[in-house]
Structure formats: C-alpha cells, structure tokens
C-alpha cells in the first residue's frame, strides 16, 4: 500500500522535519498587510478632502442661488448696496452663517447695458492636518463659481 504524505510536513535529507511557516514568510505577510493598510488610509484621506471640496462647491452654488432669488423677488438685477454687502459678508464669514466659505469672496458685476449681471464666488480649499491635539489649516487651490443672470422681468 502506498505511503500517505502529509502536505504540511516535509522531509529533508538529514531527517529533520519542518511544519508551519518560517519567520521570513510571516515578515513578508506583515509587510504586504501593512502596505495594504497604508493604501486604505491614504484612500480615506483623499475621500475626505474631496468630500470637503464638494461641500464647498455646493455652498458656493447655494450662495449664488440666494442672490439670484433675491433679484427675482425684487424684479431687478441692480440690488441695493446694503443687500449686496450683506450677501458678501455671508460669503466671507463676517456674518455668522453655515454657508461661509474658507477665504470666500463674492462679487456682483452688472454689465454696462444693465441687462446682465455676473455673480462670482471665489474660495480656497482648506486642507486640514492634525499634529497632536492642534489642527492647522493650509489653503491650496483657488476655486470659483460664477453665473450670469439676464434681465427677463
């Protein structure tokens, strides 16, 4: 009858048997696992930054929409200076608002004919990094959201 061979046991020429894993195999497995975990961490950080950027774009769109709605309500594209200033303060954070943008600047330009207005919101992305318990913000990449409204009242 043929002899059954145990897959986990190897017989060497000098008669010693080895079973299980060697230390080098375990170390290689740990290195591969660590590289995979670092990749997941980098992916999470990128996803967080992109989510913040998308949130800022949405805020800019809502701020522009707010001003165009006010123009529609007043049936004019030439809003009073106080209304435009209050809106600009909301964009740059002077007025407390949940729509404030980091480094936000809002501009309203009516063309010479008085038939078109260009509303632009510009901001910079805030990249947050934490060192210990303190958070620091470094700004990189300027963004702009702009729309043109025509006088159709």
* Per-residue model confidence as pLDDT tens digits over 6-44: 555 555 555 556 666 788 889 999 999 999 999 999 999
| The predicted structure's pLDDT at residue 117 | 86
Mean pLDDT of 38-51: 90
* Per-residue model confidence as pLDDT tens digits over 76-94: 888 899 999 999 999 888 7
CA distance 124 to 103: 6
What's the pTM value of the predicted model, to 2 decimals?
0.63
| The predicted structure's pLDDT at residue 10 | 54
Mean pLDDT of 32-61: 90
| The predicted structure's pLDDT at residue 138 | 40
CA distance 132 to 111: 51
pLDDT band at 137 (very low <50, low <70, confident <90, very high): very low
- The long-range contacts involving 77-84, CB below 8 angstroms and separated by at least 24 positions, are 77/110, 77/114, 77/115, 77/116, 77/117, 77/149, 77/151, 78/110, 78/114, 78/117, 79/108, 84/108
Number of residues that this document lists for the chain: 153
* Per-residue model confidence as pLDDT tens digits over 94-107: 777 777 788 888 88
DSSP 9: -
* Helix spans in 80-130 (H): 81-92
| The predicted structure's pLDDT at residue 110 | 85
| The predicted structure's pLDDT at residue 151 | 67
3-state secondary structure 21-84: CCHHHHHHHHHHHHHHHHHHHHHHHHHHHHHHHHHHHHHHHHHHHHHHHHHHHHCCCCCCHHHH
| The predicted structure's pLDDT at residue 31 | 96
The CA R_g of the chain, rounded to the nearest whole Å, is 31
CA distance 40 to 149: 44
> pLDDT higher for 125 or 152?
125
């Amino acid at each position: 009858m043929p002899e059954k061979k145990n897959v986990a046991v190897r017989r060497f020429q000098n008669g010693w048997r080895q079973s299980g894993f060697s230390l080098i195999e375990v170390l290689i497995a740990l290195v591969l696992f660590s590289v995979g975990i670092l990749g997941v961490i980098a992916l999470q950080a990128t996803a967080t930054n992109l989510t913040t950027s998308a949130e800022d774009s949405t805020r800019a769109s809502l701020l522009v929409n707010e001003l165009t709605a006010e123009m529609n309500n007043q049936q004019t594209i030439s809003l009073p200076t106080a209304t435009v200033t209050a809106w600009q303060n909301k964009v740059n954070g002077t007025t407390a608002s949940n729509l404030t943008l980091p480094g936000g600047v809002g501009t309203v330009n009516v063309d010479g004919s008085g038939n078109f207005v260009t509303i632009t919101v510009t901001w910079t992305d805030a990249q947050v990094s934490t060192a210990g318990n303190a958070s620091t913000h470094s700004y990189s990449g300027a963004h702009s959201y702009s729309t043109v409204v025509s006088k159709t009242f």
